[in-house]
Amino acid sequence: MSKQIRAVLAEDQAMVLGALAALLEIEKDIAVVARARNGREAMTLVAQHEPDVLISDIEMPEMSGLTLAAEVHGRYPRVHIVILTTFARAGYLRRAMAAGAQGYMLKDRPAAELAECVRRVCRGLRVVDPELAAEAWTQEPDPLSERERQILWRAGEGKSGAEIAVDLHLSEGTVRNYLSEAINKLGAANRIEAARLARSKGWL
C-alpha cells in the first residue's frame, strides 16, 4: 500500500469548499492538506505543500482556475491537476487541457466519482467527462468574428442596436447586419437566444 494522496483544494464558495474537503476526507487514501478560496491563494499553497494533486474550480476571484492550472503545470509539473466545475463547455475543457490539466470533472456528476477521478489522475491517467470530450471533438470551433462577439455580448446585456452602434462607432444598420449574421450562424431565433447560446458554448 502506497502513501496517502496529498491534495490541495481550490473553490471560492467556502461552504462548498468545506463540503468537498469533507467528502474527500472520507477516503482513507486521500488527505486534503490545504484549502484555497481563490487562484492566488492556491498558487501559494501549492508552492508550500507540493501536493500530489490540485483540485480547482474555474470561476474564482483573483485568478481563474485555468490560469492557475497553467502556472502550476509550468512550475510544478509533478503536481497533477483536476478541474472541477459547473460548466460543461467545450471551450473550457479545451483550455484546461492546454493548460496541463489531467482531469476535468463536472459538479453534476455523482459525488463518488471525485475520489476515483483523483486516484486515476495520480496514477497518470487522464479523466474527462466522456460526453463533454465527445462534444469537444465534434463541436466546430467558435464561428463568431470579433465584431460579432462584441456586438452579441452587448445585445445580451439588453442594449439596443442604437446604443451598440454608438458604443462601437458603427452605424446602426451595420450593427443589425452583424447581429443578423450571428443569429444565423448560431441557428437562433433572435438576439437573446443567440447570446444565450454563444454564452453556453463558452464563445462569449
Partner DNA sequence: AAGAACCGCTGACATTTGTCATGCGGCGGG
Partner DNA sequence: CCCGCCGCATGACAAATGTCAGCGGTTCTT
In the set 86, 145, 180, 200, which binds its own copies (CB under 8 A)?
Answer: 86
Q: How many Å apart are CA 179 and CA 190, to the nearest integer?
A: 9
The residue type at 172: E
Q: How many Å apart are CA 136 and CA 116, to the nearest integer?
A: 23
Contacts (Cβ under 8 Å, ≥6 apart) of 145: none
Q: How many Å apart are CA 37 and CA 42, to the nearest integer?
A: 7
Say how many residues touch its own copies, by CB under 8 A: 37
Shortest reach from residue 69's CB to its own copies, in Å: 19
Question: What letter would DSSP give residue 94?
Answer: H
* 149 makes contact with DNA (CB under 7 A): no
Nearer to DNA, 119 or 147 (CB): 147
Q: What residue 176 binds from DNA, its own copies, none (CB within 5 to 8 A, per partner kind)?
A: DNA
What cell numbers appear for 192 in the block?
A: 437573446
* 132 makes contact with DNA (CB under 7 A): no
Q: Binders of DNA among 2-61, rule CB under 7 A?
A: none
Return the range that interacts with DNA (CB under 7 A); candidates 3-11, 67-75, 108-116, 157-165. 157-165
CB 182 within 8 A of CB 152: yes
- Per DSSP (E only), the strands in the chain are 5-10, 30-36, 53-56, 80-85, 103-106, 127-128
* 195 makes contact with DNA (CB under 7 A): no
Dihedral (Cα; 146, 88, 121, 71), 10-degree rounding: 30
N residues, the chain: 204
Nearer to its own copies, 1 or 26 (CB): 26
In the set 47, 109, 143, 173, which binds its own copies (CB under 8 A)?
Answer: 109
Q: Binders of DNA among 158-187, rule CB under 7 A?
A: 160-162, 169-171, 173-174, 176-177, 179-180, 183-184
CB 148 within 8 A of CB 175: no
* 191 makes contact with DNA (CB under 7 A): yes
* 33 makes contact with its own copies (CB under 8 A): no
Binding residues vs DNA (CB under 7 A): 145, 147, 155, 160-162, 169-171, 173-174, 176-177, 179-180, 183-184, 190-192
